[in-house]
Amino acid sequence: MNRFDLIINHGLVVTESYSARLNIGIKDGIIVQLSSDTLSANLATKTLDATNLTILPGLIDSHVHFNEPGREEWEGFETGSKSLAAGGVTTFFDMPLNSNPPTTTKEAYLLKKQMAEQKSVVHFRLWGGLVPKNVDQLKELQEIGVIGFKAFMSGSGIDEFQACNDVSLLRGMKEIAQIEAILAIHAESEAITNFLADSFSPNQKVSGKEFSESRPIISEIEAVQKLITYAKITGCRLHIVHVSSRKIAEVISQAKNEGLDITMETCPHYLSLTTDDIDEKGAIAKCCPPLRERAEVDSLWKSIIEDEIDIIGSDHSPSTPELKQGELLQAWGGISGAQTTLHVLLTEGYHKRDVSLERIVQLTSTNPAKRFQLFPQKGTIAVGSDADLTIIDPHSSFMLKREDLFYKHKHSPYIGKTLRGTVHYTLVDGNIVHSL
């Protein structure tokens, strides 16, 4: 019997804390050897030569909307997970709201889990939902395996998944604290955004800047400040998603420095696209919170460099093409980005701003693994860790074409853009799930 199922020789291994040229031996889906010496091909069933390539821990995308069951015509686990694998992602956390039924009960969770097990080519975990009338369901959802809970402070866009008012949010946060879970939250002030939206007529044509200003940074700050207060009262652990500006990150960092158990996540689109992209591409570049001005993009990168941001998740929120048509205010607010997270970070971070590969690994793999208690099984390259790996050439470049995408609906604001980094192989439990 061979000592290894797979040997990967001559690659540059990058973890959250170091880079080294190492050779990897894999057995039964686990990394069992890391060696500076080349491992003999005679010891393995299969070998990969990673000469001139870089090996990263598989990315963990903490924030995707795959919409199945119920809205699989928007996206599903098969196409969604293949898209992730093509982008070097080996684990995802699927959000609870776009599926129908939403993942707010045990029955809905089990139905979604069964579908994901049948169709996904990468590992997955499922978020549970916190909505006004399901606080009594949270403990049971925690016991059967949700990664955490997601709630909205403003409208989700999905009728079946209602936003929490202050009272239901406090009750939910108290329960989540008691069961030692974590709450991910969409933090925008509905009072502010509704008030500003009233100045527009329903079918009015607006610019990217006008749309961004209708959901301003201050609406996120106001919501985050309220959450911080509620967390102090309830003891609930918080994860603030899709932070669109460093101004918000600074508020969260201050709370963290004061001892609050709080982390934050931003998305590749807030680190690369601007309101100009909304004007150029229309609703394909619409999301909520919205894209910001170029100065905000540059400032958010400073948060990355100074270790304020904890996690980067794609917030892949696809829809059918029809929902992206018409005037901006009426179109679906979500960006398709599951496949391009690593490419954007290599382009905008590693090459343009000298952000290290180690830092990118922290943001996309190690930190989500640690925050959601998957480390060191996932999130690093070490003996005993899962053999979830992405093998890339970080220096190559390509222009993204529609036919490159694995999404069910092949639209993306990155089509036509020159991106860096080629994913040569993605491995899940030592098995190749994507290759050039």
Nearest to residue 190, comparing CAs of 172, 208, 214, 170?
Answer: 214
DSSP classification of residue 362: I
Residue 59, token pair as written in the block: 């990315």
Q: Strands of 89-94's sheet, edge to edge?
A: 59-64, 89-94, 123-126
Query: Reduced to 3 states, what is the DSSP secondary structure of residue 58?
Result: coil
Q: Which stretches of the chain score pLDDT less than 50? A: none
pLDDT of residue 170: 98
Q: What one-letter code names the amino acid at 104?
A: T
Burial 370-395 (b: 16+ CB within 10 A, else e): bbbebbbebbbbeeebbbbbbbbbbe
Are 231 and 238 in contact by the 8 Å Cβ rule? The answer is yes
Instruction: Tell me how far apart the alpha carbons of residues 14 and 255 are, in angstroms, rounded to a whole number.
Output: 31
Structure tokens at 397: 């470049």
Q: What is the pLDDT of residue 312?
A: 98
Tell me the CA distances in angstroms from 163 to 151, 167, 378, 431, one per residue in order: 7, 11, 32, 40
Size of the chain, expressed as the number of residues it contains: 436
Geometric angle at alpha carbon 230, from 228 and 235, rounded to 5°: 90
Q: Tens digit of pLDDT for each residue in 162-218?
A: 999 999 999 999 999 999 999 999 999 999 999 999 988 877 899 999 999 999 999
Radius of gyration of the chain (CA): 21
Q: Convert 29-63 to b/e letters by CB count within 10 Å (16 or more is b).
A: ebbbbbeeeebeeeebeebbebeebbbbbbbbbbb
Q: What letter represents residue 330's amino acid?
A: Q
If we measure between CA atoms, which residue out of 131, 126, 172, 123 comes closest to residue 145?
A: 126
Residue that is written with structure tokens 């009272």 in the block:
167
The domain 58-371 is classified under which CATH number: 3.90.1150.10, 3.40.50.720, 3.40.50.2000, 3.20.20.140? 3.20.20.140
- Structure tokens, 126: 């499922």
Domain boundaries, the chain: 58-371
CB 412 within 8 A of CB 284: yes
In the DSSP assignment, the letter for residue 98 is S
DSSP conformation class of 409: S
pLDDT attached to residue 1: 64
What is d(CA 387, CA 298) in angstroms, rounded to the nearest whole number? 35
- DSSP string for 20-55: EEEEEEEETTEEEEEESSPPPGGGEEEEEE-TT-EE
